[in-house]
Structure 1
């Protein structure tokens, strides 16, 4: 299975229904971060240059199938027009007569933004009739919203079966790097997985131990693995009901010849607060009143040494309470090591997930990673080895 390419398609005069992710953070009607708008610009520019009529569709927030004026996409129009340096038309509906009339006005190369797809009750239900309504607006379908690809909605999955379907440039770029990271990676492959709870990442860990050569576990999750090995973790965040699960994952890793890397020394404190009195100690020396808040220097050095041996890295989640200084040191140092290796061309480093992106930005190394996904849930489901409906629907028999 392969994907059709927009770069080689004849698009002159074609109406292109483009599913984008414009679910951007807004404060008092003003966009506070336009990253997702910028991500769509290359696809919009390519379609316009090739003479297509560009029809943009997106969801915003959770109106649950009702028209909620505060969740309209209208405020996005001026920001998008400024980024594109051209006029952007707006349709007050995403389907039916209002949308059809707006599309009929479009000339080749022009851009139209439709109203919030989730104002339609059939969107999240993947209603076939709504998908047909969308299809009436266009000649081809383009999905450039990888971040919504784990949802089987009418505009992300249903419509893809009704028109010639293409991945947008941003989607294709993401799929290419995800394939390099876990689909067809260069070994040795290392994964760094951190965050608070094992319970939220069981599927992820079970998938990774069958795919990677080294799995470094950090954050609160590491405490559960340490406790499963018999270590005392004091007041640390730890899911004591999941010790058997942690042991099962370790056994699965051993049978797949995947090395699990856990902290050997840790930074502990009695209070979960920035600049709380703290100390570094070996695993086994944590007192009843202390909680583990970061990986210690020996652990970070061991992780750095493992990174030096790897050719591919997939990273999801911090190694400690990185939002509270000085418990951000482990995450920051490991991120800088990975970034330096990626920058020198020795490592393909792919990262994703909200906390991970925040941590890499905090370390000022996000631009040095080979690829940083901002797709959140879709990135996590991909790491879990799950098929993403929005991607599967784009596949074309080769």
Structure 2
């Protein structure tokens, strides 16, 4: 299947809506602690600037339940300003009056950043009404958010139905990731290890099933690990699980055994009672998560285990964080094994 590149589209002097992935980790003071995702978007943004476009950028950040100042993209706007050396016009909403007013006054060569897409409840529901409103921000739609391209969200899937093939395509980052995955899976240098994280098994189920016959080892972390632990009869407190996928998780464990693939699950966690940056934490083994507590990152013993599993590896495919990556205190496990 051919995926049309932004270079194949006639975007010159036009308005371009770019779906980016600015889901970056922040500390308790709202400072960005790792801006690699922002830097990765710059090639596509600069290409649009070189083509004298009006540019509208959109992204999610974290998992807010409606508007929440802690998840504002204002810090992202500041970092983009620093990296691009030009002003970034920041909207105070997503599809509200402020965003529309600033878009209508946007000039060629200027950049408008919409507020956090997930401030709109319709985003994660793949709402067509929201998608249509977002499509008004660009004659062209560019997806450059590989990390969410598997999601049926309004700014990722539903929005594409409001553009024909000549007005939608992939940004440079998305194309690079797709091409890398294609060549990686075709001829991996062994030993080949897949590191799979993220919050839900449902978003990675097909990937897990497809990868199993191709890898030598598989490491599973993040929130999805609790569904696997639950399938083995473990108690996981209030940690996130998908009850409808417990059987699927157990099937993957059994299939890994049948194929001779070594499958690693976390052996300890950083746990908390609430989902916030300033919450008290404990370090416990996977058998000691009490009721009312939830695992939000892998613990130090798991970091050692996973690092050892990666020691002799020639090829690593990593998709998804080991913890709640958006909060600095729960992003450490991901950094420590990277």
Both structures adopt the same fold (TM-score exceeding 0.5): yes
CA displacement at 1:11 relative to structure 2: 1.7
| Offset of residue 2 of structure 1 | 1.3
Measured at CA, do residues 5 and 272 of structure 1 come closer, stay the same or move farther in structure 2, by a change above 3 Å? Answer: closer
Against the structure 1 CA distance between its residues 148 and 87, is the aligned structure 2 distance closer, same or farther, given a 3 Å change threshold?
same
Do the aligned residues in 1 keep the contact of 2:217 with 2:261 (CA within 8 Å)? yes
1:181 aligns with 2:184: yes
Residue in structure 1 matched with residue 321 of structure 2 by the alignment: 354
C-alpha spacing 1:244/1:185, structure 2 compared with 1 (3 Å): same
Whether 1:208 and 2:217 are equivalent positions in the alignment is no
How far off its partner does 1:337 sit?
3.5
Contact 2:191 2:312 in 1 (8 A): no
Structure 2 residue matching 1:324: 3-state secondary structure: helix
Query: In structure 2, what is the Cα distance between the partners aligned to 1:133 and 1:262?
Result: 44
Match of 1:170 in 2: 173
C-alpha distance in structure 1 between counterparts of 2:37 and 2:154, whole Å:
21
Contact (CA 8 Å) 1:331, 1:359: kept in 2 or not?
Answer: no
Shift of 1:98: 2.5
Distance 1:349 1:18, change over 3 A: same
Q: 1:180-329 alignment to 2 at 5 Å? A: 180-182=183-185, 184-185=186-187, 190-192=192-194, 206-209=209-212, 211-212=213-214, 215-216=216-217, 239=232, 245=251, 248-249=254-255, 253=259, 259-260=260-261, 323-324=300-301, 328=304
Query: How far did residue 251 of structure 1 move?
Result: 7.6
Alignment correspondent of 1:84:
84
Aligned residue in 2 for 1:115: 115
**Partner residue, 2:237:** none
- TM-score of the pair, normalised by structure 2: 0.67
CA contact (8 A) 1:53 1:110 kept: yes
- The whole-number CA distance in structure 1 between the counterparts of 2:41 and 2:145 is 8
* Alignment check: 8 A CA contact 1:332 1:359 kept: no
Task: Give the 3-state SS of the residue equivalent to 2:155 in structure 1.
Answer: helix
Shift of 1:205: 5.3
How many residue pairs were aligned?
A: 275
Give 1 or 2 for the bigger CA radius of gyration: 1
Q: Deviations over 1:212-240 (max 9, x none)?
A: 2x5335799xxxxxxxxxxxxxxx99936
Distance 1:32 1:187 in 2: 32
Distance 2:30 2:188 in 1: 45
| 1:135-182: CA deviation from partner (whole Å, max 9, x where unpaired) | 122100011112222321111111112122211111111111122233
Residue in structure 2 matched with residue 50 of structure 1 by the alignment:
51
Q: Per-residue deviation at 1:10?
A: 2.4
What is the TM-score of this pair, normalised by structure 1? Answer: 0.58
Cα drift, residue 117 of structure 1? 1.7
Cα RMSD, aligned residues only:
4.0
Contact (CA 8 Å) 1:192, 1:218: kept in 2 or not? yes
Task: Check whether the contact 1:43–1:168 (CA below 8 A) recurs between aligned residues.
Answer: yes
Q: Offset at 1:84?
A: 1.1
Aligned to 2:73: 73
* Structure 1 match to 2:39: 38
> Is the CA contact 1:17–1:141 (under 8 Å) kept in the aligned structure 2?
yes
8 Å contact kept, 2:194–2:318: no
For 2:55 and 2:41, the matched residues in 1 are separated by: 12
1:159 corresponding residue in structure 2 = 159
Distance 1:114 1:33 in 2: 21
Q: Does 1:94 align with 2:69?
A: no
Unpaired runs of 5+ in structure 2?
A: 222-228, 235-246, 270-284, 286-297, 324-330
Equivalents in 2 of 1:61, 1:170: separation in Å?
21
